[in-house]
Amino acid sequence: MLALAAVAIVLAVTLTGGKSKAPTVTADLSSVSGILQNALVLGSPTARVTLTEYLDTSCPICQDYALNTFPTLSQQYVRGGKVKIEARVVSFVGPSSSRGRDLVLAAARQNKAWQMLELLYQNQGNEADSWLTDDLVRALAAKIPGLDVDQLLKDANSDSVQSEGVKMDHEMQSDSVSGTPTFFLTTPDGKRHFLTTGTYPPSAFAEKLDQALNG
């Protein structure tokens, strides 16, 4: 019986070419498609207001914001050129946080950071697990039009990306950020204001953004 089982395994591996099946992933990029990106900034460089968000790709509260609030902000404020959003990706929630950050920073070099963020949140695993496997990374990257996947992986493992990550950790400390997501608002007069940490409904964002734009 053991010999027959071994033969069956060998045949299965042979028939599949020894390759594991690529993970099935969710990939909806409609919230960022067609919007100008420059590294980690989404939106027009001439936008009068800047929303800065500190986030962790393994943070479930960040996921809730990305899936349920960000699409509204993108449609109502970013796509029309009123507001630009700056992502600052930090790493402290779980074992896949640093890998997620490296991928976003690497994608930013191809101006695809926001597509990567969208897919990471849409396919986020348990924050306590090492959910961001190599197979999942390649499956996600393959869903981003125009992304050079091999260059992405090379950049994600580079010393320069690691240095960028350290810089963001320092910025997080300088801004006294103790949790994710945390938001700051830069108004047309150039002043930067703390907005909130944690959950914040679209209506509350809209109220603050409208005040900044009309102030």
Range of the domain at 152: 43-214
Give the bridge partners for 183, in sequence order.
53, 196
pTM above 0.85, yes or no: yes
Return the pLDDT at 20.
61
In a domain, 160, yes or no: yes
Return the pLDDT at 12.
47
Return the pLDDT at 133.
96
Which amino acid appears at position 124 of this protein? Q
CB 29 within 8 A of CB 118: yes
Provide block-wise average pLDDT over 10 residues at a time, the chain (215 residues): 45 49 92 98 98 98 97 97 97 96 98 98 97 96 97 97 94 94 96 93 94 92
Q: How far is CA 30 from CA 8, 83, 119, 134, 184, in A?
A: 44, 18, 11, 25, 25
Return the pLDDT at 13.
44
Q: What is the number of structural domains in the chain?
A: 1
* Sheet containing 37-38: order of strands: 37-38, 41-42, 83-89, 49-55, 182-186, 192-197
In a domain, 68, yes or no: yes
CA 174 – CA 52 distance, rounded (Å)? 14
In a domain, 23, yes or no: no
CB neighbours of 164 closer than 8 A, spacing ≥ 6? Answer: 105
In a domain, 123, yes or no: yes
Return the pLDDT at 19.
58
Return the pLDDT at 215.
80
In a domain, 26, yes or no: no
- For 75, how many CA atoms within 13 A lie in the half-sphere containing its CB? 10
Return the pLDDT at 22.
79
In a domain, 12, yes or no: no
CATH number for the domain that contains residue 81 = 3.40.30.10
In a domain, 33, yes or no: no
